[in-house]
Amino acid sequence: MMEDILAYMHNFPAAGAKGPFTGLSAAWSCPSNIALVKYWGKRDGQLPVNPSLSMTLTQAVTRTRLTVAAETCEPGLASVNGDPGHPFLGKLRVLHRWFCETIPALRPLALTVETRNTFPHSSGIASSASGLGAFALCMLDLAGLLTKAGTAQDEFMRAASMAARIGSGSACRSLFGGFAWWGESPLMGESSDQYAVKIRNGIHPEMYGLRDAILVISSRPKELPSSAGHRAMDRHPFREGRISHAGENLRELLDALASGDFGKLADIAENEALTLHSLMMSARPGVILLQPGTLEAIARVREARRAGVPVCFTIDAGANLHLLYPATASADVERLISEALRPLCENELVIYDSCGTGPVRLAETQPLA
Ligand code: DP6
């Protein structure tokens, strides 16, 4: 399958790229995602040590437009939002280089990037997932436009997912609506370490209504970049245990998603969040990213669940909580947030989101903001 995808990409130049291309553009909106079973640890560069499963979001999106600059410009990525020194350029250039190696038609182009997030930076929403997902979609789209190569939707998304993974592992799961799976496993047909797949069957309809309210406990940049955290898993004493533990959680989560059992999903999501942080704490050097406000919020969420409110939390590599709850519990959870949780948040910031339908291609003239 991976060979098929690479062949698909290599075939772009075969269709013949005839300029001039100045002004040609591609634009996409790509959502972020929240992992219920976490990807933590890599092998051979950008491959996961364990499969992961995420829910794609709706509101938290990156909208990106790539435009071919004048042909007199130096090939490569010229700027992001008009800034030739933009901090996101480093990550984009890694992925851009990979695209140019894979699709030769893209090599001569000078490109400018316009990009907007709908959510604040360092809010606990993975901007690299949505940002690199959107960039991968635009690059692939541009390759298709240049060469007028036909694109079948499934193949296109799989190739975009594979490319997004090169930019950031979790980004490969953002390319599909609903729930996505990344990592080869007998539990999921057609799964691969190279790209994510949409979980097409066996999801209870109510699960597509899941909400995610993000409690921004701290917007300070993370003390531990994800890449360093993944690296710390290479020689982690609990590495093997974690790999089999993730497999058990995935099996149970698939059951919970299929039966619509929110209580079971809550158990697994919280266990994954706390396991992720335990792994970070027990690495060398150990890192504590949870803040006092995080722990207080966890206690209050669990108290509410014991009192009958179907709500649980998950946390990525940071201090902020994602509260997950069924749509039917929205009123109860919103009350819980305003009475007990919002005061724990920095500037009382809470971002409401929900399970979404995946990326959208934007019209040529559509504004990004
Ligand atoms: C804790 O995808 O940010 O959010 O591949 O180095 O870019 P890189 O790492 P990244 O790691 C995300 C880790 C996580 C869990 C998850 O999203 O599965």
pLDDT at residue 305 greater than cutoff 70: yes
**294 has pLDDT over 70:** yes
Q: How confident is the model at residue 87, as a pLDDT?
A: 93
Ligand 1 atom closest to the CA of 170, numbered from 1: 2
Which protein residue has the closest C-alpha to ligand 1 atom 6? 227
Contact 168 CB / ligand 1 (< 6 Å):
yes
Q: How far, in Å, is the centroid of ligand 1 from the Cα of 173?
A: 10
Q: Which atom of ligand 1 is nearest to the CA of 52?
A: 18
Nearest protein Cα to ligand 1, atom 4: 316
pLDDT of 68 above 80: yes
Q: Is a pLDDT exceeding 50 seen at residue 70?
A: yes
For residue 160 the two structure tokens come to 């975009």
Residue 45 pLDDT class (50, 70, 90 cuts): confident
Determine whether 55 is exposed, middle or buried from the number of CB atoms within 10 Å of its CB (0-12, 13-18, 19+): buried
pLDDT in tens, 319-342: 999 999 999 999 999 999 999 999
Say yes or no to pLDDT of 236 above 90.
yes
What letter would DSSP give residue 50? S
Q: How far is the CA of 34 from the centre of ligand 1 (A)?
A: 10
Q: Please check the confidence at residue 222 and state whether its pLDDT lies above 80.
A: no
User: Where would I find the beta strands (DSSP E) of 3-91?
Assistant: 25-37, 42-43, 47-48, 52-68, 76-80
Q: Which of 350, 354, 226 minimizes the C-alpha distance to 293?
A: 350
For the chain, what is the mean pLDDT? 93
Residue 13: pLDDT band with limits 50, 70, 90: low
Q: Is the CB of 38 under 6 A from ligand 1?
A: yes
Per-residue pLDDT of 89-140, as tens digits, reads 999 999 999 999 999 889 999 999 999 999 988 778 889 999 999 999 999 9
Tell whether the model's pLDDT for residue 148 goes beyond 80: no
User: Is there an atom of ligand 1 within 6 Å of 56 CB?
Assistant: no
pLDDT of residue 223: 76
Q: Is 338 in the pocket of ligand 1 (CB under 6 A)?
A: no
Query: What angle is formed at CA 119 by the lines to CA 118 and CA 125, rounded to 5 degrees?
Result: 125
Ligand 1 atom closest to Cα of residue 227: 6
Which of 30, 39, 173 for mutating ligand 1's site (highest number of atoms within 8 Å of CB)?
39
In the predicted model, is pLDDT for residue 15 greater than 60? no
Nearest-angstrom CA–CA distance, 87 and 310: 40
Does 359 sit in the ligand 1 pocket, CB within 6 Å?
A: no
Give yes or no for residue 194 CB within 6 A of ligand 1. Answer: no
**Could you tell me if the CB of 165 is within 6 A of ligand 1?**
no
Residue 168 Cα: closest atom of ligand 1? 7
Q: Are 174 and 56 in contact (CB under 8 A)?
A: yes
Q: Which of 20-29, 34-43, 117-126 has the lowest mean pLDDT?
A: 117-126
Q: Is the per-residue pLDDT at 311 higher than 80? A: yes
CB of 32 shorter than 6 A to ligand 1:
no
Determine the pLDDT at residue 254: 98
Does the CA dihedral 120-122-126-129 come out positive or negative? positive
**Nearest atom within ligand 1 for CA of residue 37:** 18
Q: How does pLDDT run across 358-369, given as a tens digit for each residue? A: 999 999 888 998
| Three-state SS at 3 | helix
Q: Measure the CA–CA gap between 9 and 143, rounded to whole angstroms.
A: 9
CA 167 to ligand 1: nearest atom: 7
Burial of 227 (0-12, 13-18, 19+ CB in 10 A): exposed
What does the pLDDT read at residue 14? Answer: 47
Instruction: Please give the model's pTM, rounded to 2 decimal places.
Output: 0.95
| Cα 108 to averaged position of ligand 1 atoms, centre (Å) | 31
Average of per-residue pLDDT across 209-223: 92
Contact 49, 233 (CB under 8 A): yes
> Residue 31, SS3?
strand
